[in-house]
Structure 1
Amino acid sequence: MGFGQLTVELIFGFFSLLLVTRFLGKTQITQLTAFDFISALIMGELLGNAIYDDDTGVVKIFYAITVWGLLIFAIQILGQKSIFFRNLLEGTPSLVIQKGVINRQALKKNRMNINELLNLLRIKDVFSVREVEYAILEANGSLTLLRKPEFDTPTLSDLKIPFQSKSLPKLLVSDGIILSHELQEANLSESWLRNELEMQGYSDINNIFYAEWREEDGLFVIEK
């Protein structure tokens, strides 16, 4: 196989995998279950074997990735329609701590020991089981917990402190470039932005590394 053919197959394979991943949805990345992990491994293996096989061309690479992607998509649709298949493929959450008591049967069922449970608790900034009322081991291996009232973080409502709603910040300037679509979403104009920057002493947009705007806080600027 020449370098030219290898380059073409690598580029084609890369964008094919990217398109299939985008088609299958963000759950392939953000909610990696056992099934998603296996499917991603096999898809990468298919591409790797196809690229370094002299008898395999671009058409066969595309065919292999497409068929496997369609199989994953069909199984995802089946999981959406059937609770049984959803539980079979993705697994079900397990209640590992109930009313402050560790459920040893749930730990045994999930092949988990006490050290692994304590590790997951520490990731959640909990250093003692006595602080936890309920803990659920999710299908993707993460731990969701509910603290006991005496160990829970108080909210502004609990403390009777007045509060106001918050809005998402908008990135208006990135590395000297004005992001027009962000301005439009915030119902702001470029002339308004330039005036605000000048009021803060920034006359040249090219010198702005980062500028964000939030309704309740105004404009925040970081210079290069």
Structure 2
Amino acid sequence: MTHYLQTATELAIGLVLLYILTKLLGKTQFSQLTPFDFISALVLGELVGNAVYDHETKFYEIIFATLVWGILIYGIEMATQKFKRTRKFLEGEPNIVVQKGKIKFDALKKAKLDLNQMLSLIRQQGYFSIQEVEYAILESNGIMSVMAKPQYDKPKNSDLNLPIKPAYLPYTFILDGEVVHKNLKEAGKDEHWLKSQLAQQHVRDYKEILYAEWKEEQPIYMLKYENKSS
């Protein structure tokens, strides 16, 4: 029993420690990973894993090693922000793999990317033919950025001479049957207003609603639960 309690405690401490380090090191540790970020996250996970499964290693030693590793990574992150010359080496650089509609084989080879992989990444951006692509850039985090040829690009309001309307961010007012009071306040609304909007759509209780959002100059949009068991 003591062994299981110790394992649970180590896992909980490891989770908290990794969470704190991830918050300190920034969101790139878990999104838009560069190769260096990937190595960093891998080592942090391995350090905590050793603390749990290697009983010969003292947990406080793992905490010390994790903190030192976090400080090193934080220092490197600061260096890449302040010293531009270090960014190319530590973070990598974008590679143009399609330029003016032509595939750059040398760039593909440099990025260790074959044609099938390149086409797959381009399709993920919504372009299913290489004929539609004017430029394609493989970013340092592995994501492909694509600029379409003019004839395949999406028209903008300015291109169609349409009147420009202001853009509004939608507010989520109900989520999984619960009112999001913070969003109501930010939108300048209250529960009385929300209840009146629900009544107009013949809804009596918040708990009937799975999701509801509202955007300026538009009526509230609601989705009810389907076959919800009581």
Relative to structure 1, is the Cα distance of residues 56 and 154 closer, same or farther in structure 2, using a 3 angstrom cutoff? Answer: same
Secondary structure of the residue that 2:220 maps to in structure 1? strand
Residues 1:157 and 2:171 are matched in the alignment: no
Deviation of 1:58 after TM superposition, in Å, equals 4.2
2:72 & 2:111 partners in 1: Cα distance? 28
Q: Output aligned runs, 1:25-174, within 5 Å.
A: 25-174=26-175
Secondary structure of the residue that 2:97 maps to in structure 1? strand
In structure 2, list runs of 5 or more residues that go unmatched.
226-230
* Matched AA of 2:215: R
1:134 & 1:142 partners in 2: Cα distance? 14
Structure-1-length-normalised TM-score = 0.92
Relative to structure 1, is the Cα distance of residues 205 and 151 closer, same or farther in structure 2, using a 3 angstrom cutoff? Answer: closer
Question: 1:112-132: per-residue Cα shift (whole Å, max 9, x none)?
Answer: 222222222222222332222
Aligned length in residues: 224
Deviation of 1:207 after TM superposition, in Å, equals 2.4
2:15 & 2:200 partners in 1: Cα distance? 47
Aligned partner of 2:212 in structure 1 is 211
2:126 & 2:199 partners in 1: Cα distance? 44
Contact 1:9 / 1:57 at 8 angstroms: preserved in 2? no
Relative to structure 1, is the Cα distance of residues 106 and 217 closer, same or farther in structure 2, using a 3 angstrom cutoff? Answer: same
Question: 1:137-181: per-residue Cα shift (whole Å, max 9, x none)?
Answer: 111111112111112122232223334223111111222322111
Relative to structure 1, is the Cα distance of residues 192 and 73 closer, same or farther in structure 2, using a 3 angstrom cutoff? Answer: same
1:207 & 1:116 partners in 2: Cα distance? 45
Relative to structure 1, is the Cα distance of residues 131 and 210 closer, same or farther in structure 2, using a 3 angstrom cutoff? Answer: closer
2:178 & 2:32 partners in 1: Cα distance? 34
Aligned partner of 1:200 in structure 2 is 201
What percent of counterpart residues are identical? Answer: 44
* Matched AA of 1:72: I
Question: 1:76-113: per-residue Cα shift (whole Å, max 9, x none)?
Answer: 00011111211101101111111112112211211222
In structure 1, list runs of 5 or more residues that go unmatched.
none
* Matched AA of 1:184: K
Aligned partner of 2:12 in structure 1 is 11
* Matched AA of 2:26: G
Residues 1:177 and 2:178 are matched in the alignment: yes
2:42 & 2:101 partners in 1: Cα distance? 38
